[in-house]
Amino acid sequence: MQAQKSSDKQLFVGIDLGTSRTSIVSRRGVRTMVRSVVGYPKDIIGVKILNSTVVVGQEALDNHPYLSLHFPLADGVLKETSEKDEQAARELLRHVIRCAEPQADEQVFGVLGVPARASLFNRSQLLKITEETMTMAMVVSEPFMVAYGLDKLKNSLIIDIGAGTTDICAMKGTVPSHNDQVTLLKGGNYIDEVFSHAVAESYPDVQMTRFLAQKIKDKYGFVGEPTQEVVVSLRSNGKPLLHDVTRELRFACETIIPDILESLETLVAGFDPEDQAEALNNIVLAGGGCNMIGLDTALAEGLKEYGKVHVTRVADPDFAGAAGALKLATELPTEYWNQVGDVIGG
């Protein structure tokens, strides 16, 4: 009974720190997603309007005219930071932990996911920031978290398509080594940029922004032969007019495929020959970008010379990473954490 009581004082959380969105799940059942952005009022008027000196998440985006915005995870991990960026990262983490509703006397133990090949420097910088809010934290790679959550720990390949990066990881029944992981800098943001340029080229009068490009992509994103035409209302010289952007959207979404295929080919070759067929049959897509229609088929098609290939998507792209992190946090006794990832506290 006593032991039960002391474990009640521990709150376990899993956090997926993303460039565009951070999700957190807790053992007590909290599931929250926060936009990874922090805003500081530009001047005293903003403080008065918002009644605060700092705003985090969607509220910061909604009030952006009065705020200077910081995206502390712009490249998927803390970028080369200014002091303000580091402060913003602290603020974001504080907010995210608050979302998990820790009680006053509770210790917070958490696993955080970052891009697969995040440099050691970035990982330790991130861990330092957790010191204030967490008793013990472990940083692991994003696709590894997803793999752990799905129990796909051997002979599988996990592809996490986020906003800033696409992370690919080969699972071989051990904690993935450096050589088992690839981080590509082409993710959703890159697609938005390509799409936005492609539309501007086809329709020079259209006012296109990256926000708008993302909105259209999130709704209609696809690769391969279109199943429907993508016709959207865009402002041309100020007036809303319908434009067919099917070709431009396909082109943009397909730009990430060649790099993914090339990385998969390299990672497959890293499995023992007798395991390669099973790994090719066990490719999993995760991250927001996995929602693009036709991506599973296109990847399988691109690898067809390798024999039977099976590509699936996670059922819950928004929380698959954080849920895997929580599973790892609760299943792995804390004394083993430093064998799996970089750890602080404990």
Residues in the site for ligand ATP, rule: CB under 6 A? 18-21, 76, 142, 162-165, 187-189, 214, 217-218, 221, 287-289, 291-292
Phi, psi of 286, rounded to the nearest 5 degrees: -140, 180
Q: State yes or no: residue 162 binds Mg ion (CB under 5 A).
A: yes
**Cα gap 141→62, rounded to integer Å:** 31
**Cα gap 142→154, rounded to integer Å:** 16
Q: State yes or no: residue 18 binds Mg ion (CB under 5 A).
A: yes
| 135, two tokens | 């008793």
List the x/- string, 186-215, binding to Mg ion by CB under 5 A: ------------------------------
Bridge partner list, 169: 158, 181
Closest to 224 in 3D by CA, of 197, 247, 244: 247
110 binds, among Mg ion, ligand ATP, none (CB under 5 to 8 A by kind): none
Q: How far is the CB of 19 from Mg ion (least distance, A)?
A: 7
Q: State yes or no: residue 288 binds Mg ion (CB under 5 A).
A: no
324 binds, among Mg ion, ligand ATP, none (CB under 5 to 8 A by kind): none
Q: How far is the CB of 270 from ligand ATP (least distance, A)?
A: 23
| 125, two tokens | 């910088």
Instruction: Dump the DSSP string for 76-111.
Output: SS--S--HHHHHHHHHHHHHHHHHT---TT-EEEEE
Q: How far is the CB of 240 from Mg ion (least distance, A)?
A: 34
Instruction: Name which of 71 and 109 has its Cβ closer to ligand ATP.
Output: 71
Q: State yes or no: residue 39 binds Mg ion (CB under 5 A).
A: no
Instruction: Name which of 102 and 143 has its Cβ closer to ligand ATP.
Output: 143
Tokens 């329709």 belong to 203
163 binds, among ligand ATP, Mg ion, none (CB under 5 to 8 A by kind): ligand ATP
Q: Which residues contact 219 (CB under 8 A, 6 or more apart)?
A: none
Site residues (vs Mg ion, CB under 5 A)? 18, 162
